[in-house]
Structures are given as C-alpha cells and as structure tokens.
Structure 1
Amino acid sequence: MNRLTGGIPESLGNLNLLQLFDLSNNNLTGPIPNSIGNLHLLSELDLDNNNLEGPLPSSMFNLSNLEILDIQYNYYLNGSLPFDMGISFPNLQFFLIDHNQFHGSIPPFLCNASMLEMIQAAHNLLTGTIPNCLGIQLRSLTKLMLEYNHIQATQNDGWGFLAGLSNCTDLQYLILGDNMLEGEIPSSIGNLSMNLEYIFMDFNNIAGKIPEDIENLVNLKMLVLTGNHLEGTIPSSLGKLRRLNELFLGMNKLSGLIPSTIGNLTNLSVLNLYGNTLNGTIPSSLIGCPLQSLDLSQNNLIGTVPKELFLINTLSNYMYIQNNFLTGTLPVELGNLKNLGTLDFSSNKIFGEIPVSLGACQTLQYLNASNNNIEGTIPLSVEQMKGILVIDLSYNNLSGEIPEFLANMRGLSDLNISFNNFKGQVPEDGIFSNASSVTIGGNKGLCGGIRQLKLPTCSNHTTRKSSLSIIIAISVGSACLFGIFVLSIAFHCNKKTKTNLRTSTIGENHARVSYAELVHATDNFYSGNLIGVGSFGSVFKGKIMINELQVTVAVKVLDLLQSGASQSFFAECQTLRGARHRNLVKILTVCLGVDFRGLDFKALVYPFLPNGNLEQWLHQSIEEDGECKVLDLIQRLGISIDVASALEYLHQHRPLPIIHCDLKPSNILLDNDMVAHVGDFGLARFYHQDSNDSYEISSAWARMRGTTGYAAPEYGLGNEASAHGDVYSYGILLLEMFTGKRPTDSEFGEDFSLHKYVKMSVPHQVANIVDQHLLQEPDDNEERTSDYNRTTRTKVDCITSILRVGISCSKQAPTERTQIGDALKELQAIRDRFRRDSGNSVQPKKEPQDTETSSSISSA
C-alpha cells in the first residue's frame, strides 16, 4: 500500500531466507521475475492490486512451501495454469488469481493441493469444465469462486463436480455466475454442505426446473439464478430456507404462482422475480418478510395490489411491480411506505384516484405511475414529499389544473404529466422554468408557461373563468379549509421532528442502522475508539455489517444537548443525500432512534478513512514505522486540487448550490491514497435557503458561519452564507497548507492576519515563510549542489504561485475573490508546470479498491 512503480527487481530472488513477500496495492508493472523461484522458504506471496503482466514464471512452481498465492487484480497476468500445479504446491491454502487474463482449463492436478481452502479465479478467460476431483480431494474448501469465465457444462457432462463438492463440509461460497453452464442443475445440489451460504449461478444458460432439493441447504443466505432459462414453477419448498436473505430468480421463464410459502422467509430482505411469466395474484403472505427491495415487474400478475404489500414498513430501496396486469385502486395503506426510495407501478390497469396518503411517503425519490387509468387530480398532500426527485404520471386520465405547489418543490428535477386531461395555466417558476425538466404534451387544455414549451397564450376568458372558479372554491370551502389548517398545524407540531428526520435522511439505499448495532460496533462507544470530537458530537471508529461484509466505519454521535446539534444532523443528511463526488465524504447510513435510557439518539455513519484529517498532517506528528511523516509538495498540491474540485462541484450543484460554511483542515479527510475528501456538512446551506425549510432552524444554528480564522469577515457582519465565503475559507486553507501556520496563531490578530503575512512576503521572501519541510534541506554533512539549488528554486517558484492563489481567494471584499473554478484551473496549471520544470513524473492517484468485497456479491 505505497506508490512503488517499475518492475520487481530480479535481485529480490537472492533473499533465500524470505518467508513472506508482500508488494500488494502498489503500481508495479512488468512481469513476475523468474528469480522468485529461488525463495524456497516462501510461504506467502502477495502481489495483488498492481499492474503486473505476462505469464507466471515456471520457476514459481518450485515453491513447495507456498501456502498463500495472491496475485488477483493485476488485470494483465496471462497464460495457462500448469498441468501439475497442484503437485507443485502441496501446502497451498489460498489460491487467488481473479481479475486477470489467465486462459485454458482448470488443471485436474490442482486437486492434489489437498489443503486448499479458497479458490478465487473469477474474471479470467478460463475454459473447459470444473474438475470432478475438486470436492473429492479438497475437503477443506470453503470458497469456490469462478464467475466471469467461459467454464462449460452440458446436460451430459460437466456437472459432476457438484456431487464431489458434497464432501466439502465447510463450503460456504459457490460462485459460478457469468459462465457457459447449460443443462439442468442436478438434484445433487441438495447434498452440498449444510454450511453453504452463497450460491451464484446467474447469467448462464441453465434450463429445466429449480431443484426441490435446494430446501436442504438450510443455512443459505443468497440464491442467485438470474438470467438463465429456468422454467416451471418456483418450488414452494424454498420457504424452508429460513435464513435466506436475498433471492434472485429474475430473467428466466418461470411460470405459475408466486408461492405463498415465501412469506415464511423471516430474514428475506431482497426478492427479485422480474422478467418471468409468473401469473396469479401477489401473495399477501409477503408481509411476513422484512423486505427492503421487491421486484415483481414484467410478469403476468393479475388482481389488485394487496394492502399487505404496503404494510411492509422495512421497504426502503424499491418496489417494482410495473408491466403486469394489476388492476383495482391503490389502497390508502400506500402511505405506510415511509422509508421507500422508489415506487414503480407503471404499465398496469390500476384505476381510481391517487390516495391522499401518498404524501406520507416523505423519503420517496422516484415515483412512476404512468400508463394506468388513474383519474382525478394530483392531491395536495404530494407537496409534503420533500424527498421526491422524479414524478411520472403520464398516460393516465388525470384532470384539473397543474398544482402550483409543484413549482415550489425544490428537489423535483423531472416531471412528466403528459397525455392526461390537465387544463389551465402552466406555472413558470421552479421546475417549470426549465423546459427540459418537464413533459406536458398531450394535454389539450394547457396554456401559458415559458416560451420554450410552445403553448398557446392563456385567453382573458380562460383567466377570468379560472379566477372565478378559484374564488367560488375558496368561498365554498373556506370553513373546511380553516378546520383542516388548524388540525394540520396541530399534527405538524407533534410530528414535525419525526417527519423531518425521514425527509432529511434520504441516502444511499442502505437500511438505517440501529442504536444497538452501533453500541456493538463501537464496543459501547469505548474511549479507545474515539477518533475525534467536534462542536456537535464525537466520532468513534467501529465495524458494522453491510451486505454480509464487515466494514470499518466512522460513527458520528450527535450530542443533542448542544444547541444546534439536531439542525447540524439535518443539514448533513440533506446535503449528502444528493451530492456525489469523489472528493466528498460519503454517508453510508444513519441511526435515528432512542438509546437504552429512552433518550433521543442521532448518529451518522461514514466510511473510515485511515489517514485521518489534514489538521493532523499539518500540525501533529504523524509517525509510521518509527519515522515522522509529513506531506510533500506534490501531496499538498494534490490535496489542494481535490478540495477545490469538491467546492466547485458544490457551488454548481443542481437544483441548488451548496455552501459548506465550515471549510478547515480538520474537515478534510484523507484516504489510503492521500486523496482528500471534504466532510462535516453540519453547517451547510443550500443557496437561497429560506427560513421555511423542511426543518426548524434554531437561531443559534442559523447564525453559525464556520470557525474563527477560516470564516469570511462578512459573516461577522451577519451576511448570509455564500460561495464567496467558502472561497475565503479555501484561500486561508491554502495559505496554511504551504506556510504551516494556523490563522489563529498568536502572532495574528485583528490588524495582522495570515493573509497579510503572506501577501507581504510574496514574491521575494517566500523561502522564509514557507513550511521548511517542503524545501527538504540536506543533512549538515551534505553539500549543497547545483542540482539541489535548482530544485529548491523550482519548488519556491511553485509555492509562490500557489500562495498567490491563496491570497486572491482570501481578499477582504467578497466580490474581489477569485471564483473557485478559476482557482482550480490555476492550481492544475501550476501542478503541470512543476512536473515539467522539476522533471517529476508524478503518478496519478490510484482509486482505492475494497479488496474485501466480492465482486460477484456486489454485482448481485
């Protein structure tokens, strides 16, 4: 996990006492040297996640003591596997060669490596059949992962390996997706290990029926058979797999009814049956499954949508029931889907009106009800759906005028109400101000709107008629509206906090984590796991399970006794739910609940970034292998560009720009590859955000505008947050990064600031004010050479240019500051000049890879 480049030197073969050799996660190229065969005592060879190429050297197969061979994720290693490799590696336990270009068949003599526990050869070009002897001789095998190859099996040959695998009593993973398996799955699959948890045979050419014998695999968690030619009915015996968590049977030829026994699967979170010819009704027994994702689309299902489907309150990712023959009206229970992200029931025969209860689905982002027979008007309750991004109501029988409130829904980015019976004036504000975001064709009674919609001008008669209708409606309904208003205010006051939590925490389609899970993940918030304390809470390191994998995370626990903590939580959720950029911290999930004492508890969960924050690298001693580590010039320049890229994205965010309001070194986190990620959006605002937002803003929180020293001077005068304020903070950040001085150091006060300090020294005194680590002075016993002096001058010139950018960004007057996009371009040009002038070929930052996550599992 460094940035080593070039080839592996042949001379490493001279280390004949070497037992462990790990060069993983670097940028090494070229072949594996033949001299590696000299390391006769080697037991572990890790060369994964590099760019090595060519075939495996024949000498490697002299390493009879090898227990671990990990050469995965090189992409360019190729050639065939030696016929007798199992004899060469009698002690081999882990054989990891996935994500390369190895071809040919799996050698039968691999079975001689009787201690093998893991075979991972996915994403290669392997052909032939799976040797039958694998299971017979490899009794310790736990993982057989061969997806994305060209491995074959037919009805008469190639399936024998399944019978052999019944001897592998510890087998947990059988991953064979995206190959060329044909014929029927043998009933012997039911004889596999009782410990088997994952079966992937998706995207092959498997035909026939799903074997009933799968019911014997009682510990199965995932069954993935998508994209085959399976036919017949879904076995009701699948209801016996009580630990099944995800079932994927889509894109087959399955027919008949959906068995009601699926409702017995009390751990099932994903049910995917789309693209079959299933008929009958949707079983109401599905209410027994804690589903998060449901896809029954593109089948021949009939009948009404059972109300029980809308009572599954765990549904949070999606409900796809489109392209069927469902009929009837939508039940009022639709409003119970308070955590759902996507709802699609398009292309059915559903009629009646849209239930008013739809407004309770406040985390819904995508709604598609097109191609049905829905009538009536768009209910006023839709205005409450603060999280909605896309609405498609096209090809129905909706009528009335287009509700004005649609123009005020700030998150709405795509609206299709075409081919209905809408009439009257089209609004011109909000989403209706962008012709590419709305589709309204096929409504003959519409008029007005922006010019690009090319609608006829509304006549005075129409206007008078509309106005008269409005006056009459208001007059007749005033008493009712007043009563409803009073009741809604009371209801809103009682439920506001809970509603806002749902509204503000739309995230990445992850289930929310519970308080108990976070207690377990952080060892009861043990102080030894504390990695930071901020204005609104504390951050703990922990480990949680996501998609059956343990992931290291950072858990930010809000101190709700602090004024503004709840508003900080809402701001962070609302900002990060729609922001996507490689230089922004990603929110994984949230916790909304109560602790063991019954008190409100709020927490945010992020990926753990192992290199800490920029504050630590600039001002604290970072040690590695006993050495003090500091950021060099290229690293600091790269981080500067990363942060500017993130700010430019935020300031151009659509539909509303985002103002960070608290940019400083401690809020910039660094990953494995020293890529910067801007975090802590607890004070963030959407530009032009008003006081009527979806959550109540405390006056204390509303006044907060960053941290002393980094906050723009105009914020001290009460000015609103703006992009200019973020640019000021960024300018101060640049000056701090390259001088090593905080803006709050004792030498700086009201009359003398870091900005003035740097401005007075540029360009002639830069060498005196720069962080001296950047100039890398030689030891006392070394002489200053002309090469060194030339390099120093190049560095000083580079830093001078960077400081000028910092000065221009941190000017007193907001309108005089450089825009962040211009600052970014200038810094990129400075980097390119420095590379050219110094002769450094700086390697681009390598995107980190999660080597713990199986590609096959994530793709499913």
Structure 2
Amino acid sequence: MRLFLLLSFNVLTLLDAFTDVSDRQALLEFKSQISQGKRDVLYSWNNSLHVCNWKGVTCGRKHKRVTQLHLPGLQLGGVISPSIGNLSFLISLNISRNSFGGTIPDEVGNLFRLEHLDMNFNLIEGEIPASLSNCSRLLELQFSSNLLGGGVPSELWSLTKLVTLDLYGNNLKGKLPDSLGNLTCLRELGFGGNNIDGRVPDNIVRLNRMVYLDLSDNNFLGFFPPPVYNLSSLYILNIFRNSFSGSLRPDFGNLLPNLQGLYMGRNYFTGAIPTTFSNISNLQKLGMEFNNLTGSIPPSFGKLRNLELLSLHSNSLGSGSFGDLEFFGALTNCTKLEILEAGRNRLGGDLPTSIGNMSRELNYLSLDTNFITGSIPHEIGNLVSLQSLWLEKNLLSGPLPTSLGKLLGLMKLSLYSNRISKHIPPYVGNLSRLESLYLYDNYFDGIVPPTLGNCSHLLELWIGDNMLNGTIPREIMQISPLLILSMPRNSFTGSLPEEVGRLENLVTLSLEDNKLSGQLPRTLGTCLSMEVIYLQGNSFDGAIPDIRGLVAIKEIDLSNNDLFGVIPGYLANFSMLQYLNLSVNNFEGRVPTEGNFQNASLVAVFGNKDLCGGIRELRLKRCSVKEPPMGTKHSSLSKKFVIGVSVGIALLFLLFTTSFFLLWFRKRKKTLETNNNPTPFTLGAFHENISYGDLQNATDGFSPNNLIGSGSFGTVFKALLPPENKVVAVKVLNMEKRGAMKSFMAECGSLKDIRHRNLVKLLTACASIDFHGDEFRALIYEFMPNGSLDMWLHPEEVEETRRPSRTLTLLERLNIVIDVASVLDYLHVHCHEPIAHCDLKPSNVLLDDDLTAHVSDFGLARLLLKFDQDSFFNQLSSAGVRGTIGYAAPEYGVGGKPSIYGDVYSFGVLVLEMFTGKRPTNELFGGNFTLQSYTMSALPERVLDIADKSSLHGGLGIGFRIAECLTLVLEVGLRCCDESPSNRLVASEAAKELISIREKFFKARRTARR
C-alpha cells in the first residue's frame, strides 16, 4: 500500500510538473508578444515563482492548471499570441481596457471550457473568428470598443448559452439574422456603434429574458419594430441614431412597463408622444431628441417621479403659441429631474413662473430656438443647482431678473439672439464659476460691468451686436483662462487696454466695428496662443505693434482703421496664416513679395495710397525708387532724392497739364467719330468682337419689347446678332450703380475659364463707350428660351404674355435640382479654382428648350479665399451683401466669408421652394418661423399638405409613392440649409442622394435628355 501511494504521488508530481510547464510556456509566449516597455507590469512572470502565483493568473485547486487570466486596465500593448489557445483549462479570459492590436487568433476557439471572454476597449482589428463557436460553454462574449470589421459569423448564433453579447463600437456590418432568436438565454445584447443595417428580425421576440438591448448608432430602418414591444422584461432600450420611422403606439407605456432607460433620439419618429409613457413608473432617462415628433409635451410626464433626464430637443413639438409650456407645472412633481432639454421645437408663450418650482436637482435646462416670449421670470433664481441655462434664439424681452445672481453654480449662460434689453447687471460678476457667457445679438445698452472680472473661470465672453458703450473694462483683462473675447458691433470707445497682454490663453480677439481709437498696445504680441485678431472698422492709429511671437495666428483683420507705417516683414513668415487684411489704412512703403505676400488670395492691402510694389495681383503702383528699409543710414538720402524728383515734376506740371488736355480733346473727338465700331473688350477665352453699335442694333435700340428681365446691376435684353441672326441674351450693366463694375469683372473672371453643361455659357463681353460718351459694359450669353425657374414656380407674379403654358411636374423639378447640384459640385470641387456663386436663387437658374437647368449670374461669385478690393467692399457695402435675403446663409449676415457651405445653404432653400411653392420671404414666415421650420414640422405625415399642388399633376400613375418621394427630397433640402455650416451636405452628396431618389421613384420615367 505504501508503495502504491508513493508511486501515485510521483505520477501526480510528474503530471503537475508537465502541466505547469505547458501553461507556463503558453503564458511566456503571450508575454513575449506584449510591446517592449509594457512587459514590466508582468514582472512576477518569471521562473522563481510558480505560474499560479503570477499576476492576474488563477489556477484550479485540483489540477493546478490556469483557469483564469485577468489583466484588465494594465496599459498592455502588442498583439495577442496564438499560444493563448494552449491554456486548455481556461474558464475566464479578461484583457479589457488595454491597447492590444492585431487580430483575435483562431486558436481562441480551442478553449472549449471558456465561459467568460472580455476583450473590450482595445485596438483589435480583423474579423470575429468563426472558431469561437467551439466554445460552446460561453456565457459572456465582449468585444466592445475595438476596430473589428466584417460581418458577425453565422456560427456565433449557435452559442445558445450566451447571457451577454457585447459588440458595441466596432465596424461590423451586415444584417442581424433570424437565428439571433436562438440565443434564448440572452439578457444583455450590445450591437451599438456599428454599421448594421436592415430591419430588426422578428425572432428577437424570443429573447424574452432580455433586460438590456443596445442597437444604437447603426443603420436600422423601417417602422419601430413590433417585436421589441413584446420584450416586457427590458430595463434599458437604446436605439439612438438609426433610421427608424413611424409613430409610436399609443399603448407604448403599457407594453414596456419595466424600462428605466429609453434612448430613441436621432431617428425619424413622427406623431405625438404617447401619454401612456406615464405608466412606465420606474423610467429614469428618456431621450427622444432629433426626431420629427409633433403635438404637445404631455403633462402626464409629471407622474414619472423617478425621472432624471428628459430630452426632447430638436423636434416639432408645440404650436408656437400660448399653452405650449403648461407641462412645466406638471414636471414640478419630478423631484429627481436633473436634465431637461426642449430646445429647437415650436414651443410658444411666456415662460411660466412654475419654472421656479421644478426639481432642486435640475442642473441643465435647454429651451433654445423656440418661440418663447415675455421676460425671464424672477422665480428662475430658485433653481439653485443649475449649471447650464440655454435660452438663446427665442423672443424673450425685458431686463434680466436680479434672481439670476443667485445661480452661483452656473457655468454656461446662453441668451443670445433675443430681445433682452437694459444693462448687463453687475451681479453677473457673482457667478464666479461661469465658463461661457453668450449675450450677443440683443438690446443691451450701457457699459460692460467691471464686475465681470470676478468671473475668474470664464473661457468665452460673447457680447457683440448690442448697443453697449463706454470703454472696455480693464478688469476683463485679468481673466487669465479667457479663450474668446468677442465684443463686435457695439459702440465702445477709448483704447484697447494694455492689460490685454495678460490674456496668455486668448485664441480669438474680436472687437470689430466699434469706435475704439488710439494705438494698438504693444502687449498684444505677448498673447502667444492667439489665432484670430479682428479689429477692423475702428479708429486705431499708429504702427502695427510687434506681434512676431504669435506663431499660431491664422486670421488678422486690421482693415478700415487709421494705422500707418510700413508693413512688418515678419508677417510674411507666419506659417499658419490664412487671411491678412490691412486694407483702407495709411500704410506706406514697399509691400513684401516673399512668404505669405506671394499669395494674393490670402492678403488684402488696397486702400493704402502710399503703398507700392508687391506681387502683380495686388495691383499696386510700382515703387519709383528702391527704398531701403526704414531706419537705415540711406533712408534720409532716399528721401532727399524723392523730394528733388518731386520738385522737378512740379516744375513740369503746367506743361503736362496743357498737353493732357490737348490729347484728351483729340481722343474725345476720335471716340465720337468711331462710336459705331469701338475697340471690343475680350477676356482670355472670349474671341468674338462686338461693339456697342452692334448691340444697339441687335436689341432694336434696347427696346422694352426685347426686355427679358432686370437685376441688381443691370437689365437683360433678347438680341439677334448678325450675320446669322443668332439669338443671345445681353446683360447691360447700369454703370451708375455702385458695384456694377465689380459685378462685371467678377462675372467675367468667374466664367471665362469654366465649362459645364449646366452653366449658362458666356459668349463674350463688351467694354466700350455709348453714343453719349459714357462707359458701357455688357455681357453676352447664350439665350435660354424657357426663361428663369422663378417664373415657372411663381407664374402668378409674371406678366400674362410671359407666363409658362403649364407647370413643372415632380420629375422635372427633381431633374432641375439635380442639374443645379451637379454644377455646384463642379464649381466647388472640380473647377481649376474653387468658386462660390454667392447668389443662388430661382431667378438665377435658367431653363433651355428641354428644361435643362443652367445656373447664371455670377456677379457676386468669389474665388474662394481670394481677398481683394472688390471682395472687401462686398463685405462692407449693402450693395455687396453676399446673396439675397432668404437665400443667403445665416453666417453671411454676421460677416462670414464666401464659402461652398453658403452656396449649399442657398441650394437647400431653393429645393424647399421648388417643392413647397413658397418663397423663403413669404408673408407666412417671420421671426423664428421660417420656410425650414414650416417644412420640418410637416414631415412626413403632412408632406402633401405643404407640397406645391401644381407639382402633383403630370400623370404619375396609380400607386406612385408621391409622399415618400417628396419627404426624401425635402429632407435633402433641410440638411443642405442646416443653420450650422458643418452639418450641411456638400453638393456632391446632395446630388448623389437626389439621383438615388430619382432612380428609386422614376426608373421607367426618366426623360430622354437623361
């Protein structure tokens, strides 16, 4: 017996040693693949310790084999070694929250005892290996927040014991199969943040143990899936950011009674919010933002006593009138409410005093972009936990209540674009935790309170576009964290305080269009983080201070001041500079020609009469004398030389004047004799010669009978040009109109080198003198027999003799917007230089014989980032406003530069007008109720109510899905004219989507010209 026990002991010892060597070798190989420098974390993995004592390793009691490997959050990198598959007794593997890359080895499928696998939060690529189906005991499979791609292998659905499947935040694609319903033990399913599309499979109803379902950030579509309604055990349902549509069932709250979190924002849900939500008694978080919900906000929300978050932002809730805010009274029962978002809706009426009775836990309140009127109630001061208050873009009026000074925890206060008046109250300085203050575009007057300097955490101060006056308080310059100081378009006087140099973190300084004066402080050069300096439109004088240390600077505008001296040479060396405007000052001397000054699209220096030199594109006078740099020993000699030359010129002045007048009279006489055949004006690609006399004859003396239309800078006539009597359109510029010559040159410059089938072709140009001896300018275009799009959309505004004989069909309108989108794509991307049209509207879209659209009128067009004298006056003068009211992008109204995003905005408005039949300036619209909000509020249920009825004729055929087609087209229009430029589609995307819509609905009905 003793011998038997001894032999057994020796065998077990040998076996234990063998298994120890096997697991040890596998782990050491795993460690060898970890990035150099990260291995030190596993210092205990050495031969002096038994493998079961290594960090993160747990062994079984019986066989001493490795059963758990837990290494989460150790900042490990490298790749996962295939040797991991040799740990054949492994039950749990957790390497989450590291930086492992590479792929998941197929050998992981050898771990047939594995129950828990967690690789969340790494950098793992490739596809999920199908071999994982061999791990039939798996209970948890977690690969969230990696870089996995491809589809989910079908073999994975055979893991019927799975309780948790988390694949959130990868690049997985494909569809969810019906076999998902085989995972009947599943309680947590995370598929969010991928590229899964299609519909939710009906078999999901079999997952009746599910408590957590996350399908967010995918491409699921269709109506809200009925099977989900049967998952009555759900605690969390997250379908945020998908393409679900349709209305919510009225009994929604009765079907999912256990929900604690419901996230369904950024979809296409429509209709009213079901009142049965109040039956979900444990609901804590409800997110329904960015949908198309309509109706009122149910007061029944007040029954949700556990509600912490209610997000209804960006819908069409409310009617824009009294009574829309009654829900505030009910929400006073929600004593745990922390976040309420109801901005960007159609809520109207006065803010009720009951707002002050809401939860004392409320820290975030958003009611921006509505139709809220009246003053801010005094009771708002009761919300003592408030950290963020967003009330911008409403119709609020009156002064700020003193009770706002009680909100000592306030960090963000946004009240811009209202009608709030009186002084900025001194108590604002009591809000010592304030980080962002947005008060611009109101009616504040008086001085800026010095107490603002007490807001020592302030990062952004926006108080422009008010009626403020006085000097800029020096106390503001003590707020060292300040990043943005924006105070434009007020009436500030005095100088820019020297203390501005203390703002070492300042990125943007915007003080344009005030009444500031004095010299720019030398300390401006110590604001080393500065990227934008806007000081134009003031009365600053003196020289530019030394700002050579501002190496991060991107934009400088000092135009329209009284600055003088030479232009500092170091401005040429700012590597990040994108815009430099020194125009309309008193600078003198030679303009540099190196570095940034080699780019005329970046630099503007016109309006400085004593500047010379520079590159040719700046169009400055030549420097008559090679002047040495200011301050050298030769500068005085140069000045004496210049004086001598000037005296000589003065002595010859009388002789020169006499000669000039003699020559002028001769030239005048010659001009009058040759008026019928003056020298033609041609530009580059224009080769046809044409005179004023030719055009006068071709238009029958510019007869009103040949008048086609008129615009901002001239009139357009139909003409027959000899010898073939070619029909053309002649645009005659009104040279008495300010900006006409600018328009003429812009149009010639834009069109002379570009060609596209959807651009009106400019045949030639004429620059001459008429029979009265006055300047004459005209542009000759190919003739468009079907006139402008505007006359087709609004025939009732056109003379009866010129009205179209019929209306445009839905297909014809779709073809036209595709034509316009394609030409914008060409101008913005595929042209030799990107061009912004700047005035896109129906009257500038002309139609040929077969109703193909041609974009015209480039009088306001701009080569992007080109800043010259013309573009400067385009910014300052009313004649040069970029575009037309209603069509011009909102950023143009606050000094924004021409951009492709501005064109896309105008295009979006044009799309909405074409399919609704309403101009953006229709008397129906006013305040915050615009063509955009009018359209958005009707989609999709009432789309036929707002559609231009004349477009619904034309033999579309039975069963044609008019409403769906219109909805898709109008959604493209809305995305193009989003208020934020960064959210707008680019022209190529818009064209692609519109073509897709046409293919979907008109497969057999495309016109012959397509």
TM-score interval for Structure 1 and Structure 2 normalised by the shorter chain = 0.5 to 0.7
**Residues 20 and 44 in structure 1, CA contact (< 8 A), matched pair in contact too:** yes
Q: CA RMSD in A?
A: 2.2
**Residues 196 and 220 in structure 1, CA contact (< 8 A), matched pair in contact too:** yes
* Cα shift at 1:415: 1.3
**Residues 117 and 140 in structure 1, CA contact (< 8 A), matched pair in contact too:** yes
**Residues 153 and 183 in structure 1, CA contact (< 8 A), matched pair in contact too:** no
SS of the aligned residue for 1:384 comes to coil
1:330 maps to which residue? Answer: 496
Question: Counterparts of 1:561-572 in structure 2 under 5 Å?
Answer: none
1:464–1:282: structure 2 CA closer, same or farther, 3 Å change rule? closer
Output the CA distance in 2 between the equivalents of 1:81 and 1:472: 86
Question: Counterparts of 1:652-691 in structure 2 under 5 Å?
Answer: none
State the one-letter code of the partner of 2:425.
P
* Cα shift at 1:433: 1.7
SS of the aligned residue for 1:91 comes to coil
Partner deviation per Cα, 1:86-105 (whole Å, 9 max, x = no partner) = 11111111111111101111
Output the CA distance in 2 between the equivalents of 1:3 and 1:301: 52
**Residues 417 and 441 in structure 2, CA contact (< 8 A), matched pair in contact too:** yes
2:433 maps to which residue? Answer: 267
- Give yes or no for the alignment of 1:375 onto 2:544: no
Please, which of 52, 72, 79 is the counterpart of residue 240 of structure 2?
72
- Give yes or no for the alignment of 1:412 onto 2:580: no
Question: Counterparts of 1:756-795 in structure 2 under 5 Å?
Answer: none
- Give yes or no for the alignment of 1:426 onto 2:591: yes
State the one-letter code of the partner of 1:13.
G
Partner deviation per Cα, 1:765-810 (whole Å, 9 max, x = no partner) = xxxxxxxxxxxxxxxxxxxxxxxxxxxxxxxxxxxxxxxxxxxxxx
Output the CA distance in 1 between the equivalents of 2:614 and 2:321: 64
Output the CA distance in 2 between the equivalents of 1:79 and 1:202: 26
- Who wins on radius of gyration, i.e. which is larger? 2
**Residues 251 and 274 in structure 2, CA contact (< 8 A), matched pair in contact too:** yes
Output the CA distance in 1 between the equivalents of 2:322 and 2:548: 61
* Cα shift at 1:299: 0.5
- Give yes or no for the alignment of 1:443 onto 2:611: no
SS of the aligned residue for 2:258 comes to coil
1:206 maps to which residue? Answer: 372
Output the CA distance in 2 between the equivalents of 1:319 and 1:353: 19
Please, which of 278, 287, 290 is the counterpart of residue 453 of structure 2?
287
* Cα shift at 1:173: 0.6
Question: Counterparts of 1:504-653 in structure 2 under 5 Å?
Answer: none
- Give yes or no for the alignment of 1:108 onto 2:108: no
Partner deviation per Cα, 1:308-353 (whole Å, 9 max, x = no partner) = 111111202x110010011111121111111100001000000111
1:62–1:460: structure 2 CA closer, same or farther, 3 Å change rule? closer
Please, which of 45, 51, 55 is the counterpart of residue 223 of structure 2?
55
Output the CA distance in 1 between the equivalents of 2:171 and 2:530: 43
* Cα shift at 1:469: 7.4
**Residues 320 and 371 in structure 2, CA contact (< 8 A), matched pair in contact too:** no
2:567 maps to which residue? Answer: 402
Output the CA distance in 2 between the equivalents of 1:251 and 1:138: 34
* Cα shift at 1:462: 6.0
2:622 maps to which residue? Answer: 457
Partner deviation per Cα, 1:629-682 (whole Å, 9 max, x = no partner) = xxxxxxxxxxxxxxxxxxxxxxxxxxxxxxxxxxxxxxxxxxxxxxxxxxxxxx
Please, which of 285, 304, 328 is the counterpart of residue 138 of structure 1?
304
- Give yes or no for the alignment of 1:276 onto 2:455: no
* Cα shift at 1:430: 1.9
State the one-letter code of the partner of 1:105.
A
1:408–1:7: structure 2 CA closer, same or farther, 3 Å change rule? closer
* Cα shift at 1:463: 6.1
Output the CA distance in 2 between the equivalents of 1:458 and 1:342: 36
2:999 maps to which residue? Answer: none
2:422 maps to which residue? Answer: 256
Output the CA distance in 1 between the equivalents of 2:367 and 2:577: 40
Between 1 and 2, higher relative CO (CA 8 Å, sep ≥ 6) is seen in 1
1:466–1:265: structure 2 CA closer, same or farther, 3 Å change rule? closer
Q: Percent identity?
A: 42
SS of the aligned residue for 2:355 comes to helix
Please, which of 474, 477, 480 is the counterpart of residue 307 of structure 1?
474
* Cα shift at 1:473: 13
Partner deviation per Cα, 1:617-639 (whole Å, 9 max, x = no partner) = xxxxxxxxxxxxxxxxxxxxxxx
Please, which of 165, 183, 187 is the counterpart of residue 19 of structure 1?
187
Question: Counterparts of 1:381-400 in structure 2 under 5 Å?
Answer: 381-400=546-565
1:6–1:460: structure 2 CA closer, same or farther, 3 Å change rule? closer
**Residues 299 and 330 in structure 2, CA contact (< 8 A), matched pair in contact too:** yes
1:468–1:87: structure 2 CA closer, same or farther, 3 Å change rule? same
State the one-letter code of the partner of 1:370.
Q
1:432–1:57: structure 2 CA closer, same or farther, 3 Å change rule? closer
State the one-letter code of the partner of 2:237.
L
2:514 maps to which residue? Answer: 348
**Residues 627 and 635 in structure 2, CA contact (< 8 A), matched pair in contact too:** no
* Cα shift at 1:294: 0.5
* Cα shift at 1:404: 2.2
Output the CA distance in 1 between the equivalents of 2:388 and 2:171: 37
Farther off after superposition, 240-249 or 447-456: 447-456
SS of the aligned residue for 1:247 comes to strand
State the one-letter code of the partner of 1:241.
L
* Cα shift at 1:391: 1.1
* Cα shift at 1:36: 2.0
2:288 maps to which residue? Answer: 121
**Residues 322 and 348 in structure 2, CA contact (< 8 A), matched pair in contact too:** no
Output the CA distance in 2 between the equivalents of 1:281 and 1:44: 55
5+ residue gaps, structure 1, are 475-855
1:219 maps to which residue? Answer: 385
Partner deviation per Cα, 1:463-486 (whole Å, 9 max, x = no partner) = 699866746999xxxxxxxxxxxx
SS of the aligned residue for 2:493 comes to strand
**Residues 368 and 391 in structure 1, CA contact (< 8 A), matched pair in contact too:** yes
**Residues 132 and 160 in structure 1, CA contact (< 8 A), matched pair in contact too:** yes
* Cα shift at 1:85: 0.9
TM-score normalised according to structure 2 size: 0.45
1:58–1:333: structure 2 CA closer, same or farther, 3 Å change rule? same
Output the CA distance in 2 between the equivalents of 1:436 and 1:58: 58
SS of the aligned residue for 1:82 comes to coil
1:96 maps to which residue? Answer: 263
Output the CA distance in 1 between the equivalents of 2:586 and 2:598: 21
**Residues 323 and 348 in structure 2, CA contact (< 8 A), matched pair in contact too:** no
1:86 maps to which residue? Answer: 253
Partner deviation per Cα, 1:76-135 (whole Å, 9 max, x = no partner) = 111111101111111111111111101111000111001100110111111111110112
2:464 maps to which residue? Answer: 297
